Chains A and B, each alone.
Chain A
Amino acid sequence: MATCSFLPNALCRFPAISDQYIRDARKVIDEGFKGLVRDYSSVIDTIVQPLQWFLNYLEKLFTNSPWIVVLAVMMLIVYFASRSIRITLGTAIGMVMIGVIGLWNDTMITLAIVTVSTLIAIIIGLPIGILMARSERIQSAINPALDVMQTLPSFVYLIPVVVIFGIGKVPGLIAVVIYAVPPMIRLTNLGIRLVDREVLEAADAFGSSSAQKLWNVQMPLALPTIMAGINQTIMMSLAMVVVASMVGVGGLGKNTLQAINNQFFTFGFMNGFALVAIAIIFDRASQAFGKRLQKHSEVVHG
């Protein structure tokens, strides 16, 4: 602090506004925000109600069905997506091991929320990505928002989510979607922007309307990139379900949280590996599906 002896005080210690002001401001904002939420609580409830129903329905379906049925359906889906015996067998082995260590039910709960959040992320992300690809202005408006969503610590936006929606599955779901939707939007936008200009010109020359151009040319050609976006979205929802367990999401994430709190070393790793197993299953299946969609570009003639 030797330098401070000859520097004016304002240049030495940062002249922050007084604690009193910040306290007041925080109070006003927090109160106002909570008041707003209180006033509109019924509206908010009606809006999120369908999500609640859907999530509950899927969770019940997954947990109440006999495990053998769930496993068979999973293997079928994985097989038809990837057309690979290896990936299908890997899926079966992974799921059986999860069942053996007693985490079947928790895994089903996690699967339900990941499925719902991925679907929602696609439903939200795809149109936004398309809009972004069509207009420079929309792109420059949405990009900073996506940057914030991807860099803001996930614990921070859990706070407004909890204030608005309370504690429970649906707030957790919303937090997961916020975290998982940016890659979907970005890669849809990128995929459409990367479509060959010559092909677009040909579409124009034959008199395509912009909707025809979108569905006949841009979306099919952007599909591999969009599939990569879906893959990323799934991976990020899997990562986020653990954090979302702090606001009341059950499943593997809740177990992990318990393990942290109680220093259950083995239990924590068992849950962790179960998450890794489903992550690998989703990743391999969706990537193989994406590759299969591009089979037309595989055989290249010299």
Chain B
Amino acid sequence: MASHGIEIKGLYKIFGPCGRDHVDAVKSGVTKAELNEKHGHVLGLKDINIVMPAGGITVVMGLSGSGKSTLIRHINRLIEPTYGEVIYDGIDICGMNQAQLREFRRHKTAMVFQKFALLPHRTVMENTIYGLDIQGVPRTESTKRGRYWIERVGLAGFENHYPNQLSGGMQQRVGLARALTNDADILLMDEAYSALDPLIRVDMQTVLLDLQAELKKTVVFITHDLDEALRLGDKIAILRDGQVIQQGTGQDIVLAPADSYIAAFVKEVNRGRVIKAGTVMRPLDGSADGLRISSQMTLENAAKEICETGSSRAVVVDAAGVPVGMLDLQAIVAAMVTPAGSEAARMAAE
């Protein structure tokens, strides 16, 4: 269980030979296009403030060029920030010297990459224990830990294969095993599943969720896929042009998109898998008998349960089992279809 969250405070990244000189200009409102045109510098990130809770999955979502990969590389400082702080356990990562940074990377973070970035000349086992090799853990110990994680990601029997002999999905399992073997609090996943086939992607999401339920690491997950973000994220931050335009839970974003840009994304989402029973329930009237569902259950699952039991309503209970409201099929269906009102509002906004 990770004990510390990550706090990003007022982070700026300006690419170019003297990015530092332009921070004040950007703060006072110079846009990305102006900065590029007049000074030849590229604004990567602008005033990023995100609190990533300990033991949860924070998803950073954005399209290509939005700065999401730049942002994740600031957490282990693969990219030097121009201005701002990234705080973990009370220490500003941006202020660490090289030796401290190396120790931080070795023991506190592990990373999974979009294109796997496995070492082609090392076997699955040797790749998995790469982090431990770097830390100087003896092979007898590290292979034991490596074997455990190889089994957990479902690659038992492939220890002596080379990465080139494996399919993309299997290679990413190696990438995941390599990160988990490091036993670090922070797991950074940079578009880890974007290069995989849709079916394998869902499969790997399940692997991650199952492991996370047990490990409770602080996971930072980058993706351009909103469905993936909603499925994995305890918290979601949406990035555009280097700025956070909305952050909150999946439900927050689906129910109240901050602007038309996000609304356009959200339109295609399967709301039944995002919105929870507790969000759309009515106050309890009448008896609290009959089917009981958790307030954390998604509408899709709630509808399934209600239909299976042949009733038309269910009592919603909180974590302690106390009835807090009720839900009927009509309310579920109304919440699952995209409300006409939001569509009209979006049209008007454009």
Task: List residues of chain A with CB under 8 Å of any chain B CB.
Answer: 196, 198-199, 201-202, 204-209, 212, 216-217, 220-221, 296-302
Contacts and interface: CB of A to CB of B under 8 A. Distances in A.
Nearest to A208: B134
A301 B165 contact: yes
A206 B112 CA distance: 10
B102 A296 contact: no
Given A208-B102, A216-B134, A296-B121, 14 more contacts: A196-B117, A201-B113, A205-B78, A205-B109, A206-B106, A206-B130, A207-B134, A207-B135, A217-B119, A220-B119, A221-B119, A297-B120, A298-B164, A299-B164
B110 interface: yes
Contacts of B135: 207
Given A199-B119, A216-B119, A206 B166 contact: no
A198 B105 contact: no
B165 A299 contact: yes
14 contacts: A202-B113, A204-B78, A205-B109, A206-B106, A206-B130, A206-B134, A207-B105, A207-B135, A209-B102, A216-B119, A298-B164, A299-B165, A301-B164, A302-B167
A221 B121 CA distance: 7
Given A207-B103, A212-B134, A300-B164, A198 B121 contact: no
Contacts of A212: 134
B176 interface: no
Q: Lowest 7 A-B CB distances belong to which pairs?
A: A207-B106, A207-B105, A202-B117, A296-B162, A205-B111, A198-B117, A206-B131
B115 interface: yes
Contact of A301 (B107, B113, B131, B167): B167
Does more than half of chain A's interface fall in helix, strand or loop, or is it mixed? helix
A205 B78 CA distance: 7
Interface residues of B, number: 31
B182 interface: yes
Does more than half of chain B's interface fall in helix, strand or loop, or is it mixed? mixed
A199 B117 contact: yes
A201 B105 CA distance: 12
Contacts of B111: 202, 205-206
Contact of A207 (B102, B163, B164): B102
B321 to A, nearest CB: 44
Contacts of B115: 198
B72 to A, nearest CB: 10
Given A201-B117, A216-B133, A299 B78 contact: no
A299 B162 contact: yes
Interface in B167-193: 167, 182, 188
Contact of A205 (B76, B118, B162, B164): B76
A78 B188 CA distance: 47
Contact of A296 (B105, B106, B120, B167): B120
Contacts of A207: 102-107, 131, 134-135
Contact of B78 (A199, A201, A297, A300): A201
Contacts of B119: 199, 202, 216-217, 220-221
Nearest to B76: A205
Contacts of A299: 162, 164-165
A198 B105 CA distance: 16
Interface string B124-157: 0000001101110000000000000000000000
Nearest to B131: A206
A297 B162 CA distance: 8
A209 B119 CA distance: 16
A206 B76 CA distance: 9
Contacts of B134: 206-208, 212, 216
B164 A220 contact: no
Nearest to B104: A207
Given A206-B105, A216-B133, A221-B121, A198 B113 contact: yes
Nearest to A220: B121
Contacts of B102: 207-209
Contacts of A199: 117-120
Nearest to B107: A207
B166 A301 contact: yes
A196 B113 CA distance: 13
Contacts of A220: 119, 121
A199 B116 CA distance: 8
B110 A206 contact: yes
B74 to A, nearest CB: 12
A224 to B, nearest CB: 10
B170 to A, nearest CB: 8
B270 to A, nearest CB: 32
Contacts of B167: 301-302
A302 B102 CA distance: 36
Nearest to B79: A201
Interface string B69-104: 000000010100000000000000000000000111
Contacts of B133: 216
B164 A296 contact: yes
